[in-house]
Chains A and B, each alone.
Chain A
């Protein structure tokens, strides 16, 4: 039995997560992401890889989406509507709620702004979402009779989950993206000791061990606070979902704590809708928010208001969250241009910026930017970088492996070089096999599945009664007949097996001759043997039958004189297969001869 997994998308590469797992004859696709970097066919995983010809629905048993980031769910409408898949798609409730918003936004940008054709439509997103089955945390969902899946909390973003996929006693855990340290709005990933055969883990930060979050938070708050006190304006370019909410909560609580009055704005857009869902899915957030939401839902921001274009020119201090996060277009760039000239102001980049964007330029220290129309923009405002990332670092990955105790680990969603390091560490410290397949590569893992067998209670009790008191920690030997019938295994007693199979019982008898030197008459010899056995085998019923034979339980002993040598008597010992133990003991006893002094 093997559980194999292949990666059409998320091998040694970040973005375009898509993993195919075949486990005990079931095929499951994990995530269906797109690549942000490409604008052609390469942005979606190569689904033709899955089945060369034939329908996907026939091949795949289910699709599981771990969270709503586009690199994990972006290709879903394309996959289900354009390539064609009608089977079930599983995701958690928050993911199901937020995912279509992001997909729609993505579609708008691609189709409406860039004018691409041959892309999925709004209707397709809706149709696709109809195929989605939402799951709760720790709820075991029976996909079909054998395949079951279960979601665990993963932190990272609202609704992110790790999935355990189980067929029979073989199981795979797919982590998706996860975070082992809690942040201001989400808790830490958690999994029980489920001991899967394979753990598929992301490894974005395979070679990083991060500092505590508190220092970063404190720095961030201090900077914002100082700037606001100076009367400056703070611009924080963010992506609409995920980190933005964390920063909002952070600032909101800080404002509350410190009694600050400066306004905080959030440029609207998707956020409002998404925030609504954040308010609803309180159970998915961290301890503090869950405990206090009765008094006040933390996502009902008191200090954070919707942003209007005109506010940017207002005098006095303010903090503005604006999209997009890399300052390459849109509102954040507009505001940036307005504020860049004043050294009292500050821009805080909370995440990574792609090369070529304004964000990257200012981060690398450029103070003069060439804008479109040959304008030169001088950047006098302070530029700060503050990394708030929600992936597990090397330590976190190790911690999760320690919690789950898998037999094999497979690393995806990371850079090959970094994964190599982590792989080596995992093998060294946990003594488990670790794999890191490239895109399109298939890894086969041999498992050692256990096969459950039904046993009738009667037989179990009978067998358990024999021998020493059962010790649960040790395997125990049992006798019975293994019946393999209609795809099920049963252990039954031999009689029942015969009956069920309609076979006649055959008796197996062993006979053995033992020569004894005894000059006396046959019946005397028999008597001697009888007395001897009676003396030795006190616990057994030894009988002397009138026809001159002896029975010990069901074992028959007869004595005849040797045809040639009358002084030698031949003892014929005969026993059935079931009495093998006693029979062989008897023969060895008789072979030792009779005691001399029995006359």
Chain B
């Protein structure tokens, strides 16, 4: 029967717009508090419309006063809070009632909940100071409550709503203008740790809202650092940090002495002390905050790495110091004897300070902590501090290098990245380099690549260092041949950074001999290529080096310059034909010759508007070919060249399609011949999407041109369809749709239209009034002529343009061993790929698996599967689950990466959201022209799999 009742009330709710009545009925029906609670719980599950909120609130309040049971009152109080959060509802009308309910409430829990509700109400009314004042007053009154929960909420409320500007509060409410900071500060010594925490958090909240905290709090906060409870200490560390940022230069006295130091130094010392706290949460917090205290004086900063060793009361040198000494005395890597670390001089027992008050050894402790969270935080802090202080960077090097051997990979990776970030400040000593290079043998690809990245921007001090690095890199190459590209790149930078250090090594590296000819090395040996990459890059800024080359080296240079042009720079070689030197050397000053070439060829294309059709086609074909070749040769121009080539390709296709003779033939005859035109239209559409979404750096100027091209393709499509289909009905819809698109194009790109004189769209818009009224067949005719007459739009090039590329490293596709698994079950395939210049890969990159039966599967990798090893580069390491019914034979499936796009979420709209057209775009219903699709952007990789039938 209960069930029945329930159903009927539900019906009532559906028919009546006001929920209040239904609730009222429900609550009146409730016989016991438990019943009432049930009704309220049910009620809370459904949203309430804005209009009926106030009514509902009134009813709830009415019941609140009647209710004796605390739990029901609690629920009502929480509902009040929920309801006042409703968007569009202004809760000032219920504030008085809410405050009134506080007066007679006895239950602490309900009180706390009510205060919470008031907090919600207060935050909903941000620009009403008098309401806020009142609420703060109420909160102050309840601060003396004996329950921690109530005090907690009061402090929270004061923190969130307390007056921030002094001026506003001056008026009538004089007693409320009491200093909020003082009120909160008084509760720093509360008996309950939760209230203490809340007080500190409220203070931090005030700070976040823009109130300048008083410096007097500092000493109070310092006392809280010794609190028994970790959450208090953790909050106190934050507070101290805030104060140290507010008053870095004020002077505070050092207790137990007459000296005084800067506040930021004092705070730094105190936070350093917390790095060896008993609770790891506090340690993480402290270590993190240290990184952002850059105003600290270098004296204190350098103390953090200081640790005095001793053994039997005698001073001992650390391994770091010993290594440094060994290095400076010239006997590097002598191997250690027993007693090498024997303690030296005696220590004055009085002078040893075992527990340092200051910053001493904070990072030494942090980096040795047992929790890796603390270690990572410490490494991060180290990184930030070292970035701002070169001398500190030099000092922390030893410690960072040590971290390369941490047991947790994340920490190792983090420290390698850190080292890379500070690499401009440091030069590696040979012994440090040695340790760094030892990590090259790590089995984790991430680590190795990070290390290559690091070596790319490292300064090495000696030629032995370079040699060592080369030897280790080659060792790495033999052990992990897949690292080839990354190692070559690394050597490229290593060479170009240290030409003078490479110079003396050249004869040895090329194994040339003054008298004898040595055998010519194998040109396909990756190791030999690696050596050559190093040498050629060094030779670029070292003109004397080519003199040391032997004949075959020059030949190899020519070959490599051609095949690995992104790794081998152009060299001016004496006495030889300039292999790929610029045609006229005097223009190189201003612009790269290849860039010049690009622009020149484009100019040519744009200028020759009125060539005969045949000529235009040929010119376009040649230019496209040139551009593609240029892209292969000049990696930095690849994006630009490809982009323009694609554009020209589209134009070429369009021209070709229009040149077809079929347009003159009567309709029935070219039914089968239209294949070319419609295919061209389709391809142009595809290419335009590629142009829009695959390149990073596309600006709105380019987007217009791309859209314009797309519009032309659509027009072409329309014409072809009109020609081939019988009957007018389907054409109506198509025409309408096309006109709509023209319309939206006009709206979107209104600002760009003046630049498009004589273009297809320009002409089309002139004819618009005619088009709208005419019949489809007429529209098609007009379109056809406009399309033919329209001029070719000039594509302006942006500063930087990069094509999104993806390369699947794993699976390699070379395996002959099929991956066997039982049909119906799944097998996990590891996919490892590098992505370049992909924006927001988490949202756009998908993995596609194509089965031999044509079945395709689209997999969305988890956001966590993407790593970001460097700017513009991403790495996808994920697992793809495959499954299929049983096959009789192993067969290959294809795995490729796709770039998903949505033409609605155009990149241009994200870039300049203020432009007029994006606003109008938002007004459009999203489904109108939102085409979602995918662009394959990696070479497919074949994987051999074999689903076996399940054994019975």
Q: A216-B319, A365-B337 are in contact. List 18 more A-B contacts (CB 8 A).
A: A182-B368, A209-B309, A209-B310, A211-B307, A211-B318, A214-B368, A214-B406, A215-B320, A287-B372, A383-B338, A385-B339, A394-B310, A395-B355, A398-B354, A402-B355, A421-B349, A424-B349, A472-B191
Bound-state Cα–Cα, A365 to B342, Å: 14
- Given known A218-B435, A398-B355, A469-B144, contact A188–B370 (CB-CB < 8 A): yes
C-beta contact mask, B334-363 vs A, less than 8 Å → 1, else 0?
A: 011111000000000100111100000000
**Cβ of B309 and Cβ of A473 under 8 Å apart?**
no
Question: Nearest chain B CB to A297's CB is how many angstroms away?
Answer: 15
Within B385-418, the residues touching A (CB, 8 Å) are 402-403, 405-408
A288 touches B372 (CB 8 A): yes
Most buried by B among A214, A259, A288, A399: A214
Please name all residues of chain A whose beta carbon is closer than 8 Å to the beta carbon of B310 when the two chains form the complex.
207-209, 394
Q: Hey, what's the 0/1 contact readout for B194-230 against A, CB within 8 Å counting as 1? A: 0000000000000000000000000000000000100
**Residues B442 and A182 in contact, CB atoms below 8 Å apart:** no
Contacts of B352 in A (CB 8 A): 425
List, in ascending order, chain A residues with CB within 8 A of B298's CB.
Answer: none
Q: Is B364 in the interface zone, CB < 8 Å from A? A: yes
Residue B483 CB within 8 A of the other chain:
no
Query: B438-452: which have CB < 8 Å to A?
Result: 438, 441-444
Given A214-B403, A258-B442, A259-B441, A429:B355 Cβ within 8 A = yes
B336 near A384: Cβ-Cβ < 8 Å:
yes
Q: Which 9 A-B pairs have the closest CB atoms?
A: A182-B370, A472-B191, A215-B319, A385-B338, A214-B402, A207-B313, A258-B441, A398-B354, A259-B443
Known A-B contacts A207-B310, A257-B444, A425-B352; the reply to A286 vs B370 at CB < 8 A is yes
Q: Taking the complex as formed, is A344 at the interface, i.e. its CB lies under 8 A from any CB of chain B? A: no
For A182, A191, A216, which residue has the most chain B Cβ atoms within 10 angstroms?
A: A182
In chain A, positions 214-233 with a C-beta closer than 8 Å to chain B are: 214-219, 221-222, 225
Q: Are B368 and A181 interface neighbours, CB within 8 A?
A: yes
- Given the known A-B contacts A215-B319, A402-B355, are A187 and B312 also in contact in the complex, defined by CB atoms under 8 Å? no
Q: A215-B318, A257-B443 are in contact. Are A365 and B338 (CB under 8 A)?
A: yes
Q: Mark B297-316, 1 if CB is under 8 A from A, else 0.
A: 00000000001111111001
For residue B369, CB closer than 8 A to chain A, the reply is yes
In the complex, 17 of the A-B residue pairs with CB atoms within 8 angstroms, ordered by the A residue number, are A187-B370, A208-B312, A209-B311, A212-B368, A213-B368, A215-B320, A259-B443, A286-B370, A287-B370, A288-B372, A363-B338, A364-B338, A383-B338, A394-B310, A421-B313, A429-B354, A429-B355
Q: Which of A209, A218, A364, A473 contacts B402 (CB 8 A)?
A: A218
- Tell me the residues in window 509-532 of chain A with beta carbons closer than 8 Å to chain B beta carbons: none
| Docked pose: A209 CA to B309 CA in angstroms | 5
Given contacts A363-B338, A385-B338, A473-B191, contact A219 B312 (CB under 8 A): no
- By a CB distance below 8 angstroms, the chain A residues around B336 are 219, 384-385
Q: Which residues of A contact B278 (CB under 8 A)?
A: 190-193, 403
Question: B315: nearest residue on chain A (CB-CB)?
Answer: A209
A210 to B276, CA, bound (A): 16
Q: Is A184 in contact with chain B by the CB < 8 A criterion?
A: yes
Contacts of A221 in B (CB 8 A): 405
Interface residue A256 (Cβ < 8 Å from any Cβ of B): yes
Judged by a CB distance under 8 angstroms, whether B182 is at the interface is: no
Indicate whether A418 reaches chain B with its CB closer than 8 angstroms: yes
Residues of A within 8 A of B442 (CB): 257-258
CA distance A399 to B313 in the complex (A): 18
Number of A residues contacting the other chain (C-beta, 8 Å)?
54
Tell me if A253 counts as interface (CB < 8 A to partner B). yes
Whether the Cβ atoms of A210 and B228 lie closer than 8 Å is: no
In the assembled complex, the Cα of A379 lies from the Cα of B479 at a distance in Å of 35
Taking a contact as CB atoms under 8 Å apart, the answer to whether B405 and A399 are in contact is: no
List the A residue with the shortest CB-CB distance to B373: A287
- Contact call B313/A473, Cβ cutoff below 8 A: no
Map CB proximity to B onto A76-106 as digits: 1 under 8 Å, 0 otherwise.
0000000000000000000000000000000
A-chain residues with CB within 8 Å of residue B406 when the two chains form the complex: 214
Q: List B residues 127-173 near A (Cβ within 8 Å).
A: 144
A207 — nearest CB in chain B belongs to which residue? B313
Interchain CB contact under 8 A, B189 and A253: no
Do B367 and A212 have beta carbons less than 8 Å apart?
yes
B407 contacts A184, CB within 8 Å? yes
Contacts of A399 in B (CB 8 A): 276, 355
CB <8 Å contact, B405 and A207: no
Complex CA distance for A221 and B439, rounded to whole angstroms: 12
Q: Which residue of A lies closest to B340 (CB)?
A: A385
Which of B311, B367, B405, B407 has the most C-beta atoms of chain A within 10 angstroms of its own C-beta? Answer: B407
Minimum CB–CB distance for B697 against chain A, Å: 39
Q: CB-CB < 8 A to B313: which residues of A?
A: 207, 418, 421
On chain A, the residues within 8 Å of B825 by CB distance are: none
- Chain A residues with CB under 8 Å of B349's CB are 421, 424
- CB contact list, A465-483 vs B, under 8 A: 469, 472-473
Interface residue B371 (Cβ < 8 Å from any Cβ of A) = yes
Chain B CB count within 10 A is highest, among A213, A216, A402, A469, for A402
- Contact pattern, A 396-428, Cβ under 8 Å of B = 1, otherwise 0: 001100110000000000000010010011000
Q: How far is the CB of B315 from chain A (nearest CB, A)?
A: 10
Contact flags A540-575 to B (C-beta < 8 A → 1, else 0): 000000000000000000000000000000000000
**Cβ of A382 < 8 Å from any Cβ of B?**
yes
For the complex, what is the distance from the CA of A425 to the CA of B406, rounded to whole Å? Answer: 33
Q: How far is the CB of B355 from chain A (nearest CB, A)?
A: 5
With the chains together, A215 CA to B597 CA distance in Å? 56
Measured CB to CB, the closest approach of chain B to A68, in angstroms, equals: 21
B189 touches A473 (CB 8 A): yes
User: Given the complex, which residues of A lie within 8 Å of B316, measured CB to CB?
Assistant: 209, 211
Residues of A near B276 (CB, < 8 A) are 399
Contact A212 B443 (CB under 8 A): no
Is B438's CB under 8 angstroms from A222's CB? yes
Residues 259-300 of A at the B interface (beta carbon under 8 Å):
259, 286-288
Q: How far is the CA of A425 from the CA of B316 in the complex (A)?
A: 19
A207 near B402 with CB under 8 A, answer: no
**CB-defined contacts of A288 to chain B, threshold 8 Å:** 372, 407-408
Within the complex, the shortest CB–CB distance from A322 to chain B, in Å, comes to 20
Whether A217 lies near B405 (C-beta < 8 A) is yes
Nearest neighbor of B479 in chain A, beta-carbon distance: A259
Q: Are B370 and A214 closer than 8 Å at their CB atoms?
A: no
Q: Given A187-B370, A215-B318, are A394 and B441 also a contact pair (CB < 8 Å)?
A: no
CB distance from B576 to the nearest CB of A (A): 42
Tell me the minimal C-beta distance from A367 to chain B in angstroms.
13
In the complex the two chains form, what is the Cα distance from A188 to B336 in whole Å? 29
Among residues of B, the one whose C-beta sits closest to the C-beta of A400 is B278
Q: Say yes or no: B443 contacts A209, CB within 8 Å.
A: no
Closest-by-CB residue of A relative to B317 is: A211
Q: How far is the CA of A286 from the CA of B280 in the complex (A)?
A: 14
- B325–chain A nearest beta-carbon distance, Å: 14
Q: Which residue of A lies closest to B311 (CB)?
A: A208
Interchain CA distance A211-B305 in the complex, whole Å: 12
In the assembled complex, the Cα of A274 lies from the Cα of B908 at a distance in Å of: 65
CB distance from A436 to the nearest CB of B (A): 15
B354 partner residues in chain A, CB cutoff 8 A:
209, 394-395, 398, 425, 429
| Contacting residues of chain B (713-766) with chain A, CB-CB under 8 angstroms | none
CB–CB A212/B402 < 8 A: yes
Chain A nearest CB from B791 CB (Å) reads: 62
A150-190, CB < 8 A from B: 181-182, 184, 187-188, 190
A212 to B435, CA, bound (A): 16
The CA of A215 and the CA of B335, in the complex, are separated in Å by: 14
User: In the assembled complex, which residues on chain A have CB atoms less than 8 Å from the CB atom of B228?
Assistant: 193
Least Cβ distance of A12 to chain B in Å?
Answer: 15
In the complex, per-residue mask of A328-355: 1 if CB is within 8 Å of any chain B CB, else 0: 0000000000000000000000000000
C-alpha gap A189/B278 in the complex (Å): 10
Q: Name the contact of B405 in the complex, choosing from A190, A218, A382 (C-beta under 8 A).
A: A218
Name the A residues within 8 Å of B319 (CB-CB). 211-212, 215-216, 219
- Across-interface contacts of A398 in B (CB, < 8 A): 354-355
